Amino acid sequence: MQDTRFNSRALLGIALRRGGQAGAVALLVGTLSFFMMRWLPGDFAYRIAAGRYGYDLVSAEAAEAVRRELGLDAPWYTALADWWLQLLRFDLGESLVTGHRIIDEVAHQLGHTLSLAFAAIALSVVIALPLGIAAGLRPRGWADRLGEGAAIALRAFPPFLLGLLLVIAAANLSDAIPAAGHGEAGNLLLPALTLALGLAAASSRVARESVARVVASDYYAFALTKGLSPRLALWRHGVRNAALPVIAYLGVQLAFVIEGVVILETLFAWPGIGHALVHAVFWRDVPMIQGTCLMLGLCFVLLNAAVDLACLLLDPRRRRGT
Amino acid sequence: MNVDLALTRRQRIGAALLVAIALFCAAGPALVGDPRVLDLMNFLSAPGLEHWLGTDHLGRSMVARLAHAGQLSLGLAALSVLSAAIPGVLLGIVAAWRGGWLERACVVLADSVLALPGLLLVLLLATLAPGAFWPLYLGLALAFWVEYFRVVRASARSILASPAVEASRLLGFGSFYLVRSHVWPELRPVLLTLASFGMAAAVLAMAALGFVGVGIKPPRPELGVMMIELLPYYQEAPWLIAAPVLLLTLTLLGLVLIRPQEAVA
Amino acid sequence: MGRSLFMPGRRRWLAAGLASSGLAAWPRWLQAGPSVRALRVVGPWEITGLDPSRAGYLFSRHGVSETLLDIAEDGNPTPALATHWEVSADQRHWRFHLRPQARFHDGSPVTPQAVAAALQFARRKPGGMGLVPLEAIDAGTDVVDVRLAADFAALPAVLAHSSAQILAPASYSTGGSVRRVIGSGPYQLTGIEPPQRFSLARSPHWDGPRPAIAAVDYLAVGRGESRALLAESGQADIVYGLDPASWQRLKRHARLQVHSVPLPRTIYLKLNAGHRWLAELPLRQAISLAIDRAGIAHAILRDPQAAASQLLPPALAQWHDADLPAMGQDIAVARQLLAAAGWQPAADGIRVRQGAKGGERLALTLRTFPDRPELPIIAAAVQEQLRQVGIAVEVLLGNASDVPAAHRQGTLELALGARGYGIYADPMVTLLQDFGPEGGDWGAMNWGNQTVPAALAALQGPLRERDRHALRRTVTRTLHEELPVIPIAWNLLAAAVHPALRGFTLDPLERSYRLERLLWGEA
């Protein structure tokens, strides 16, 4: 029978902390984007006017009109305050390139990014847990040494290079694995695998550590003397103890996931938020940069909160408030 | 407190790797030729006597470009790690020492910086000033100081509460002595680990920025940008892209090997 | 009590092996054969907007929209939406007869009113229509009358360009902006996700022969290596925009068909001829002499024929002048020219001189963009070659719209771009856009020369071929000697095609992908 009384203090703590972080993200991204608008070389009023009327028809007067309309002439403190107010109203503006509303575009891309992130995380757990357990069951055995070597090698590789190697290998080995793009069934495999390998490199080591700790513990030895087979003993006594650090470590790895998503989406032409961000940086589309960065940051905070909740659920000590 | 300074075998390998690479990057640029000179008719040539690592797609000497790129990338990485470590360690010690509102303020600050993944912060700053160096320092320093701060604060707090420190304090030793002889030796291995993480992350971040297009401007050679430039030639001249990849991988490998290990079983 | 998750070792490996082989093969089972699924086209061009003047070329190339006229490979106009036309004696009144069965994709007929409206909208946007000295466009019962206020010999070329494509009246909003692309071609849009992709299906309203390919998907992929990998892995059936290195690699591929065709497209340096230094001809000549065109063609474009000897390539036979001395590299003369102009090398090798306001260092900015993958590489080569003669160049990598913006704001110094002189069948249209009295976004800047605009204007009128020839020679010779733009290389277009695809040809004028002629055969 499980105690399902939740520790409301812990929940409130998570909500406050993550809520505060979300606010900090919005403030930071918004302010940086504002200064980007002002400091980047090239005249933004001119670009916006050219985007509206076309390059052939735009003139200095049109740019001036846009400048007055958007208040780009105002002193920076009033303009910054206006900018923050806009953010509070969830008004992210329109893209300088396509003219569509940022909110619509980002909402559309969010699904793609989340599916990639979740697939990568799930795949990394599938890869890391068996390897970590096999290594931890026999520390310093051949599985352990092999795993450590592989983990070091994988961690030392830049993600985009790993992705490219996988693409090249896939293109040469099998006709069936798609190299890039979106829309076909197998398209998710390579980007998710690239990210998952990088994640699994570290989390397999964490799993190994915790399994090794369980195997060396007293209650495990006691279970063995009771007559349980090693596997059953591990399953009953060890898995939850071993799983908790892995899940907690996922929280640490979320930053890696978000950063990896940005690069790998570009490489694999996956139409998610990371791809849109890189695109926007290239085109100096400041509203889009702000929108995508904001969304990625908020996703990060949200996923962190989810991990906090998962840890709370899994750890009976914290749940009951001891 | 006995501090074990003997390096294990893997740490020795790691250190040897890093020293070799550091020598290559420090002394190399002075010894090899100009990385900018073109030899278009002689592009993508194999390693030979004239060009030890061959020439790239524009006929520039690979070994020269590699040495200069290594100096730039690894130098920048080391600098940004220092820029992150110094304020982080100082703030961590001060926060653990003083406690109170100062500590709480630092924790809140750290939490808010942690809210945004480091690469995004660096990317935003690099977009503000494309091709400049200061966004990299600033962004990486801002993103990493938190790590140092948290680790140092946690360690310092527990050390400062220990009986040994209590005894020293009662004996009348000043705060500086306490930090130097009690806190610092415990922190050293952890800081080394963090520094290696930080260097690796810094080099990868610069490579990622080059990939995205807001990295160092040409013609300055930089490892990440080199990797992307040489990628299309992976079939015709695989030794070319292997060079920066190997340099980066070996550097990261050295940094990983040099970390102090804690064995469990 | 739950079942144990851990099966004994051997069985676990076996199960994992089966699962992974199934996973690898799964996409193949799900993938329909090529004759059933959509044709997948990949290119570097993004859908920056629905307007014909923005990304209209994408829709006309894929057979979604049509223009009044088409251009054959020999440069002569051929029927498209207009089946035949008549020209008055003074060349100022053109009457186009429309194809009677032509229908837009929403079912409405292609009426003269629709054509006139589309052309009027096109006039207000950037593009060739704006150059035409139009008096009126009248819609008759089945004819469209175009009356000119002055002579304009290149009217067929302008009407054949994608910026003058004819869309249904329902496509436009009241202001003239395009909300949906409703064309009259063999394929209609079934879905669009700007800027990356759109999908097409055969239009039931098409009155010509039914295309064999039922559906088409277009995907914009920015990186050249990714595009090449898509071709290799078989994920794309047609890949356009292969960078030279991938082109070389894929040429040796066992099964892919690789097509290439020289384009009437020139890679060139655009100069601000009003810049305080660049206004002096010797400096421009020195820049031209410093560039190693043969090396760039050999190493970067992988085609020794690509080194440009003049602005317009041999493919444009009427304009290419074989008598002009070829542009080449001569570093010694370049250095002499700079020294004679007062520029002396300083300690770091970059030249300086004493100007009106003190010492000046010869440093310029070069803008370019990666839309064409070879441009940044050529920029790096040019930067180094100019450094060898003592000119410091800073490369600013941005996007293509930076160049017109910098032109209009007057901040441009040097820019590296690629200009298609064959996108209008008659290069004269592009030359008019670039070298008219005010210069052009991609052409001369602050040049102030009178000869070329006068010659181009004179070419509009009715002339004998001998006089036309002389005027063309005047234009090319003046451009060659005065160097408002410096040509570097001529380009080619390379594409990789699925081995089972039949009937593929590359259009040197890049007007059409000719999708309606393709069909699937045996690999």
As a whole number of angstroms, the distance between CA A65 and CA A49 comes to: 9
In a domain, B1, yes or no: no
Question: Dihedral angle at the C-alpha atoms of A37, A40, A44, A46, nearest 10 degrees?
Answer: 170
The proportion of chain A whose per-residue pLDDT surpasses 90, expressed as a percent, equals: 0
Nearest CA in chain C to A175: C233
| Maximum Cα interatomic distance, chain A, rounded to a whole number of Å | 88
As a whole number of angstroms, the distance between CA A62 and CA B99 comes to: 57
Q: Pick the closest to residue A304 from A250, A227, A259 (CA basis).
A: A250
| Tokens coding B31 | 């010894």
* Partner residue facing C25 (CB), from A43, A176, A234: A176
Residue A293 and residue B227: Cβ atoms within 8 Å?
no
> What is the count of structural domains for chain B?
1
Residue C9 CB neighbours (<10 A): 9
DSSP E strand boundaries for C178-332: 187-193, 197-202, 215-220, 238-240, 257-271
Alpha-carbon distance B212 to nearest alpha carbon in chain C (angstroms): 11
3-state secondary structure of B26: helix
3-state secondary structure of A248: helix
Beta-carbon pairs below 8 A across chains A and C: 116
Nearest CA in chain B to A32: B124
Binning pLDDT at 50, 70 and 90, where does residue C3 land?
very low
Sign of CA dihedral A276, A280, A281, A287: negative
Q: Is B246 on the interface with A (CB under 8 A)?
A: no
Alpha-carbon distance C224 to nearest alpha carbon in chain B (angstroms): 8
pLDDT of C117 strictly over 50: yes
As a whole number of angstroms, the distance between CA B228 and CA A306 comes to: 36
Q: Is C348 on the interface with B (CB under 8 A)?
A: no
Domain that holds residue B185: 9-258
Position C30 scores a pLDDT of 41
As a whole number of angstroms, the distance between CA C322 and CA C328 comes to: 15
Q: Pick the closest to residue C157 from C67, C234, C82 (CA basis).
A: C67
Lowest-confidence region among A36-45, A81-90, C148-157: A36-45
Q: Which residues of chain A does B128 touch, with a Cβ-Cβ cutoff of 8 Å?
A: 32, 35-36, 39-40
Say if CB A314 and CB A1 are below 8 A apart. Answer: no
Complex ipTM more than 0.90, yes or no: no
Contacts of residue C212, defined as CB under 8 A and 6 or more positions apart, other chains included, come to C518, C519, C520
Which range, A213-222, B167-176, C62-71, C188-197, has the best average confidence (pLDDT)?
C62-71
Residue B58 and residue C380: Cβ atoms within 8 Å?
yes
pLDDT tens digits for range C77-97: 889 999 999 998 888 899 999
As a whole number of angstroms, the distance between CA A277 and CA B122 comes to: 13
3-state secondary structure of C257: strand
As a whole number of angstroms, the distance between CA A39 and CA C27 comes to: 48
Residue B187, CA distances (Å) to B86, B157, B257, C101 in order = 13, 12, 18, 84
Binning pLDDT at 50, 70 and 90, where does residue A86 land?
confident
The residue behind tokens 């940005």 is A262
Q: Which domains, ranges and CATH numbers included, belong to chain A?
A: 1-97+290-322 (no CATH), 110-282 (1.10.3720.10)
Q: Pick the closest to residue A191 from A119, A95, A249 (CA basis).
A: A119
Q: Is C214 on the interface with A (CB under 8 A)?
A: no
As a whole number of angstroms, the distance between CA C43 and CA C218 comes to: 8
pLDDT of C115 strictly over 90: yes
As a whole number of angstroms, the distance between CA C24 and CA C15 comes to: 14
In a domain, B156, yes or no: yes
In a domain, B30, yes or no: yes
The residue behind tokens 């010690």 is B93
Q: Is C371 on the interface with A (CB under 8 A)?
A: no
Chains in contact with C via at least 3 Cβ–Cβ pairs below 8 Å:
A, B
B100: domain CATH number is: 1.10.3720.10
| Tokens coding C67 | 């223009």
Lowest-confidence region among B116-130, C268-282, C311-325, C484-498: B116-130
Mean pLDDT of C428-454: 88
Chains in contact with A via at least 3 Cβ–Cβ pairs below 8 Å:
B, C
Position C4 scores a pLDDT of 38
Q: Is C498 on the interface with A (CB under 8 A)?
A: no
pLDDT tens digits for range B179-238: 777 777 777 777 877 787 788 778 778 877 777 777 777 778 888 778 878 877 877 888
- Give the DSSP letter string of C133-193: -EEEEEE-SSEEEEEESS--TTHHHHHTSGGG-B--GGGB-TTS-BSS----SSEEEEEEE
At C371, which amino acid appears?
A: D
Q: Is C86 on the interface with A (CB under 8 A)?
A: no
| Tokens coding A8 | 């409301």
* Partner residue facing B214 (CB), from A32, A259, A281: A281
Which residues in chain B (133-172) have CB-CB distances under 8 A to chain A?
none
Q: Which residues of chain B register pLDDT less than 50? A: 1-3, 263-265
Position A4 scores a pLDDT of 47
Say if CB A57 and CB C124 are below 8 A apart. Answer: yes
- Give the DSSP letter string of C191-251: EEETTTEEEEEE-TT--SPPPS--EEEEEE---HHHHHHHHHTTS-SEEE---HHHHHHHH
> Which residues is C493 bridged to in the sheet?
C261
Sign of CA dihedral A314, A317, A319, A320: positive
In a domain, B3, yes or no: no
First-to-final CA distance of chain A: 18
pLDDT: which is higher, C118 or A202:
C118
Residue C523, CA distances (Å) to A145, A284, C36 in order = 47, 44, 15
Position B1 scores a pLDDT of 39
Q: Is B93 on the interface with A (CB under 8 A)?
A: no
CA A34 to chain centre: 24
In a domain, B265, yes or no: no
- Give the DSSP letter string of A190-222: HHHHHHHHHHHHHHHHHHHHHHHHHHTSHHHHH
Angle (deg, nearest 10), helices A239-267 and B184-212: 30
pLDDT of A85 strictly over 50: yes
Contacts of A70-75 with C-beta under 8 Å, sequence gap 24+, read A70/A45, A72/A37, A72/A38, A72/A44, A72/A45
In a domain, B4, yes or no: no
